[in-house]
Amino acid sequence: MPAETPLQNVTLAPADSTAPGDRSFLQQRAYEELKRWIQETTLEPGAFLSERRLAAELGMSKTPVKAALVRLEAEGFVLVSPQQGIVVRELSVHEIADQFEIRRALETFVLRAVAGKLNAAEADRVQENLRLQEQAAASREIGQAVELDADFHAMFCEFLGNQEILSVMARLRDRMHRVISRVLEQDGERIETSRHEHQAIAAAVLQGDAERAVQAMEEHLNYGKQFLLSPRRR
């Protein structure tokens, strides 16, 4: 039987005290905490997990933890097997490549739809994101840079108002979070490069040049895919 992975420096998010005994509340809390630990690599890829240990860390019974793990397995964060037990999954090279292909199809569609059509508040939101990206790049704040990157791409989907695209993008964002964070920790220069690519995309969108925005997005995603899939960064 594989040894359990010890949990170190685990920090729990504040619990919502409005319904501490509610089953769905506990399941949701377990799901959110476990996903956060996986994304932040408190639980490393390949780590073997114990329902009993996780329940103790979360301060709840195994029942909501088991339900959370079923959900995390369906979303590709863990693998549950009778032989190995529960293991934190790592994204494969093919999965990363496939996700970039999905993003390319969706995000270029979105940019064609919103280019030149942002209102003043939306344009200000884009500029504020870019300003914060500049700060994160200057201070090498990896966590903030990853969040701002995800927000930048999600913003245009929000402006379009297509909830289905937003849902797909959110799932992709969750799955890629850990991979992107680890790579940026290895090569912080990519934060600055990505910021300049975002500026080019935003400028084309704000100027209403849809084709230039699409070209800039395709170049950005292609470079990002090559960067993440580079053997020396895997």
In the prediction, which pLDDT does 229 show?
87
Rg over alpha carbons for the chain, rounded to the nearest Å, is 19
CATH architecture assigned to 23-88: Orthogonal Bundle (1.10)
Q: Which residue has the higher pLDDT, 22 or 38?
A: 38
**Residues whose CB is less than 8 angstroms from the CB of residue 99 and which lie 6 or more positions away in sequence, other chains included:** 91, 172, 175, 176
* Integer CA distances (angstroms), 228 to 36, 54, 106, 130, 201, in order: 21, 31, 20, 22, 20
17 band by pLDDT with thresholds 50, 70 and 90: very low
Which residues in the chain are classed under CATH 1.20.120.530? 93-233
In the prediction, which pLDDT does 18 show?
39
Taking each continuous run of H as one helix and of E as one strand, the counts in the chain are 9, 3
Average pLDDT score, the chain: 88
The neighbouring-strand residues paired with 79 are 87
* Integer CA distances (angstroms), 44 to 34, 35, 38, 182, 185, in order: 12, 12, 7, 11, 15
11 band by pLDDT with thresholds 50, 70 and 90: low
In the prediction, which pLDDT does 14 show?
46
Q: What is the mean pLDDT of residues 173-201?
A: 88
Indicate the range of 106-110, 126-130, 177-181, 198-202 predicted with least confidence.
Answer: 177-181
Pick the CATH number of 93-233 from 3.20.20.140, 3.40.640.10, 1.20.120.530, 1.10.3110.10: 1.20.120.530
**Per-residue pLDDT at 124 exceeds 60:** yes
Q: Apex CA 202: angle with CA 197 and CA 204, to 5°?
A: 100
**Per-residue pLDDT at 150 exceeds 50:** yes
Which residues in the chain are classed under CATH 1.10.10.10? 23-88
**Per-residue pLDDT at 147 exceeds 70:** yes
In the prediction, which pLDDT does 187 show?
79
> Would you state the structure tokens that stand for residue 13, as one six-digit string?
């998010």
**Per-residue pLDDT at 108 exceeds 50:** yes
